Structure 1
Amino acid sequence: MMKVLLLLCAVASGALADHLHHPELCNFYSSRKLPVVVFIHPGGFYSFAGRSDLFGPHYLLDRDLVLVTLNYRLASLGFLATGDAVAPGNNGYKDQVSALRWVKRNIAAFGGDPGKVTIAGCSAGSRSVILHMISPMSKGLFHRGIAMSGSPVGKAAVPPHQLDLAQKQAALLNCPTNSSRAIVDCLKTKTWQEIGNSLNGFWTGDTDAVSFWTAIVEPDVGQPRFLAVQPDEAVRQGHLHAVPLLISQTEDEFFWKAFAVTKNKTRRDRMNTEWEKIAPVSFALPEQNSSAASRRLRQAYLGGKPIEDTPESSRALGKLYGDSWIGLNVHRMANLMCRHSPQPVWYSVFSYIGNNSFYQDPTTHKPRGAAHHDDTIYVFSESYLRPPIKARSPPPPAPQDHLMVERMTAIWYTFAKHGNPNPRKGELPELCSLHWPAMQPEDRKYLKVDQQFSVHEKLHENRLRVWDELYPMQY
């Protein structure tokens, strides 16, 4: 079987060097061009990378496709946005665009089909995938999308700047904060190591936020703009590069953040007594009416009861963390896309709990839920955390995990090849039980990925209704 070629594209200063174009490396590949998957890594726009020890190709090597991973500038190096011509913002996204342009120009030399490119991402990478569907800079650079556990549409509009983060970055490095020019001129005198090493300073006091940096709607100061309109508005108006889309979340997402509260008496007591102060930060609530929203969410998720060190309280608080950071955003984007995109949208929830997880119980050392990023475990080898799931010879050490690897990589492959996750007759026997209907506005079906595939409808909609009441959005 044809092997996957892993091509690691590194971005520096927003440009990709064409010296990576070496056709002689690939002349042993078939003249038949293979579908291409470009993976955009997660990490809240401040961490992770496209390195093979983080997101390795070893499971996808069994599929006839070309895998590309990429790096992009992170945190203040990639997302400093002062709201003016000094730092208009979105440089990290523009790095990704540079990578996609490189792929279009060069991937044929590595056995890939430049007319069959799938962009895929998890968390921050998933938000990136959706924004590439909206950005005019990315039009024509890809043909399908896979968005796992992330969306740029949430409780509030995308901001026009993040001057507060620029000022915080400046203060952390003893730079002036009185103007955009003073901030940027001073930061330019700092090394990338100094900027990187200051990262922990963004988490202070009661802050247990998952991430800070985000896309911004760029001011028009003469530069090419990655994002010029609100994402939900762009989708509603049909101003998007519509492609077939797989969009998903995990069953439990950030449930584990609850344990840091319920298992710690000091934090538990503080959150109970200072709920209206802490909740807006912990659950990324807009400033306007945040106290009233906090009270309403406490009633909806916790029944108005104090947080306790009990399984019930941990479960309820965990759902609130998961929905506030991921679940609501994915729900909204899936509903927007199925209503306004002319291309099909397939929605799913990853509920499988295997032998590995990004959250392991500290006592049993076993998974307790399908956490944020857990779906990536069955698409990529992640050797920095665990040995590979797939054994080199049968029988595999964890047969159900091995089967999940086969199923997840088969879904990615058939989607990248055909633009539809459902297998064609006679292809991919590991997907013989998969009958995944596209999501429709009035028939909101989704696939539950667990030990078996099953189709359901209206994913978590009863639970998410409170968010629609607090933060209404037109679909």
Structure 2
Amino acid sequence: MQNHLLVTLRFGAPIAADSWTGYFNASDYGSECPQVDILFGKPYKGRENCLFLNVYTPQLRKDDDTSTYAVMIFIHGGGFFFGSGNLYGPDFLLDQDIVLVTFNYRLDALGFMSTGDEVVPGNNGMKDQALAIKWVHDNIEAFGGDPKRITLFGESAGGASAQYHMLSPLSQGHFSAAISQSGTIFNVWAFMDKSMVVGNTRRLADHVGCATYDNVKMVECLRSVDAKKLMEVRFSFMKWDLDPWMLFAPIVEPNIKGAFLPDHPLNILKEAKHAPVPWIAGVNSEEGILRVALIYKKENLVKELDENFSEIMSITFNDQSKIQESSKLIRDFYFGNHKINNNTMFNLINMYSNMLFNYGIHVAVKMHFKYSKQPVYYYLYSHVGQHSLANIYGDPQLRYGVSHSDELLLQFPYSYGVQFRNAVLDRRDLHYSELLNKMWTSFAKTGNPTPATDSFVSTKWEPVTTESLEYYNIGAGVHSSKNLYSARMKFWDKMNQMRKIILRDEL
């Protein structure tokens, strides 16, 4: 049975919770937001009463104590359609004397559907995030945090979210720095054309039996549909394995009061309307394992991809024209005359890495360097750890490389996969865990990722200073370099100029 109040609030902007006096029992996590996990076909879970945040502090502030800790707000990933802040524990980061905050936000259609007008402008999940960030800014001092030193950091969709808050008028002034791990606003899955989201909203309504001729009546009908049914529609939208993933995501809203993103991200950057804060952004060395391990888990999918490459690429990108025109060039670049099979698995990893992650992040760093006066620090994370999320998606015996999300295992006690809940880090992983967390927390405390007095971080990390986009390699023999994946990035520059297939018409 649905809660009438929650149904009334469904698809609306978030409302700040009332304050309280006395003690608030925060010993248990709040509910996750409604979702289905398509990676494993897991059933529906969560409740609509889900907008909770978690505050972890080294120690509660005493009345006579004026000292404060830097604050780090982590935004979870999951493609804007699954995940929860509850998955990310505080144990590692609190060792660095910071206050850590995690939170939930509405996902998938409940968080990102849009009618394209004032009825449901869109981006409600991002507005949830913005309200949580404002709450932290306004209240964190009571938990020993410094409201003037708040760093947003996130991974995948959370990384893109961190950059979105740099652009949004709802968030600016509430934080002092940002970190985007494996996700930015220029990744193909992180930003959608409004017409595409509106179209998917109408498809969703039609699928659950709601008429679409009038937006007000359509939304009234969608409010009456059980949340579980709305979330499970995603399974019926899949055309090839899990694709297309991109159904609901951030969009440019009508320029009305309360809009999270009132203009195109590139326009906001060009017009210097973004938050003047330093930024870290980077990628893992084999990001595409996330997708490829799932494909190679089913032998028929590899064969289908080889035989129907162009058609499947158009499904992946929700684009029936431009991708098909370019797919031959893409295939030739990554595979030459070779078939897609076990022998070319790492070619496919490179292709998905570049398409879904590396190129968008490369462009985002380039745009930030070009249009922002604040430093941007670029990195490649290449440490192959003892544990990998790829071993959940694919063959547990195979060492694929550094998958999308692998660094999270060294930043948090991470409970996405049951096998990681009590995972013990070996000596090398402990070293990189401490290295990562020292650099991230140094950035949160000072705006510089290289601690001034810590010999543990032996190589100084310099910001980008030229169009070669200098980066910091966090892996064996930590060092600085430049022109990351240069040949591949030039290829995707060419693809974008020809067909606008990755950044569509943004550049």
Residue of structure 1 in register with 2:77 after alignment? 42
| Aligned with residue 314 of structure 2, among 270, 280, 298 | 280
CA–CA distance in structure 1, aligned partners of residues 293 and 415 of structure 2: 26
Residue of structure 2 in register with 1:303 after alignment? 336
List aligned pairs for 1:65-464, cutoff 5 A. 65-154=98-187, 158-161=192-195, 162-205=197-240, 207-220=242-255, 222-262=256-296, 264-282=298-316, 284=317, 286-310=319-343, 313-360=344-391, 363-365=395-397, 367-385=399-417, 386-388=420-422, 398-424=426-452, 426=453, 428-431=454-457, 433-464=458-489
Shift in CA distance, 303/383, structure 1 to aligned 2, threshold 3 Å:
same
Instruction: Give, as a single letter, the amino acid of the residue that structure 1 aligns with 2:356.
Output: W
Which range moves more in the overlay, 453-462 or 108-117?
453-462
CA–CA distance in structure 1, aligned partners of residues 489 and 98 of structure 2: 37
Deviation, structure 1 residue 26: 2.9
Deviation, structure 1 residue 401: 0.9
CA–CA distance in structure 2, aligned partners of residues 364 and 268 of structure 1: 18
Instruction: Give, as a single letter, the amino acid of the residue that structure 2 aligns with 1:245.
Output: W
Give the aligned length.
Answer: 450
Shift in CA distance, 334/207, structure 1 to aligned 2, threshold 3 Å:
same
Partners of 1:168 and 1:202 within 8 A in 2: no
Deviation, structure 1 residue 327: 1.0
Q: Deviations over 1:76-133 (max 9, x none)?
A: 1110112112211011111111111111110000000001100011111111111111
Task: Using structure 1 for the length normalisation, give the TM-score.
Answer: 0.88
CA–CA distance in structure 2, aligned partners of residues 200 and 418 of structure 1: 45
Shift in CA distance, 201/408, structure 1 to aligned 2, threshold 3 Å:
same
Residue of structure 2 in register with 1:56 after alignment? 89
CA–CA distance in structure 1, aligned partners of residues 426 and 299 of structure 2: 38
Shift in CA distance, 117/338, structure 1 to aligned 2, threshold 3 Å:
same
Instruction: Give, as a single letter, the amino acid of the residue that structure 2 aligns with 1:334.
Output: V
CA–CA distance in structure 2, aligned partners of residues 331 and 212 of structure 1: 24
CA–CA distance in structure 1, aligned partners of residues 111 and 253 of structure 2: 14
Deviation, structure 1 residue 37: 0.4
Partners of 2:153 and 2:159 within 8 A in 1: yes
Partners of 2:187 and 2:360 within 8 A in 1: yes
Secondary structure in structure 1 of the residue aligned to 2:91: coil
Deviation, structure 1 residue 203: 2.2
Deviation, structure 1 residue 304: 4.2
Task: Using structure 2 for the length normalisation, give the TM-score.
Answer: 0.83
Shift in CA distance, 78/129, structure 1 to aligned 2, threshold 3 Å:
same
Partners of 2:295 and 2:302 within 8 A in 1: yes
Partners of 1:23 and 1:109 within 8 A in 2: no
Partners of 1:207 and 1:281 within 8 A in 2: no
Q: Deviations over 1:235-261 (max 9, x none)?
A: 122221121111011111122423444
Partners of 2:314 and 2:321 within 8 A in 1: no
Partners of 2:123 and 2:260 within 8 A in 1: yes
Shift in CA distance, 199/309, structure 1 to aligned 2, threshold 3 Å:
same
Shift in CA distance, 261/463, structure 1 to aligned 2, threshold 3 Å:
same
Secondary structure in structure 2 of the residue aligned to 1:327: helix
Shift in CA distance, 112/48, structure 1 to aligned 2, threshold 3 Å:
same
Residue of structure 2 in register with 1:3 after alignment? none
CA–CA distance in structure 2, aligned partners of residues 132 and 442 of structure 1: 25
Deviation, structure 1 residue 388: 4.7
CA–CA distance in structure 2, aligned partners of residues 181 and 304 of structure 1: 53
**Aligned residues: CA RMSD:** 2.6
Which range moves more in the overlay, 202-211 or 187-196?
202-211
Deviation, structure 1 residue 18: 4.7
CA–CA distance in structure 2, aligned partners of residues 132 and 109 of structure 1: 24
Shift in CA distance, 46/155, structure 1 to aligned 2, threshold 3 Å:
closer
Shift in CA distance, 286/338, structure 1 to aligned 2, threshold 3 Å:
farther
Partners of 2:188 and 2:356 within 8 A in 1: no
Shift in CA distance, 21/200, structure 1 to aligned 2, threshold 3 Å:
farther
Q: Deviations over 1:310-335 (max 9, x none)?
A: 1xx11111111111111111110011
Shift in CA distance, 420/187, structure 1 to aligned 2, threshold 3 Å:
same
Instruction: Give, as a single letter, the amino acid of the residue that structure 2 aligns with 1:151.
Output: T
5+ residue gaps, structure 1, are 1-11, 391-396
Partners of 1:354 and 1:367 within 8 A in 2: no
Q: Deviations over 1:195-220 (max 9, x none)?
A: 23434233244553444322111123
Deviation, structure 1 residue 168: 2.7
Residue of structure 1 in register with 2:30 after alignment? none
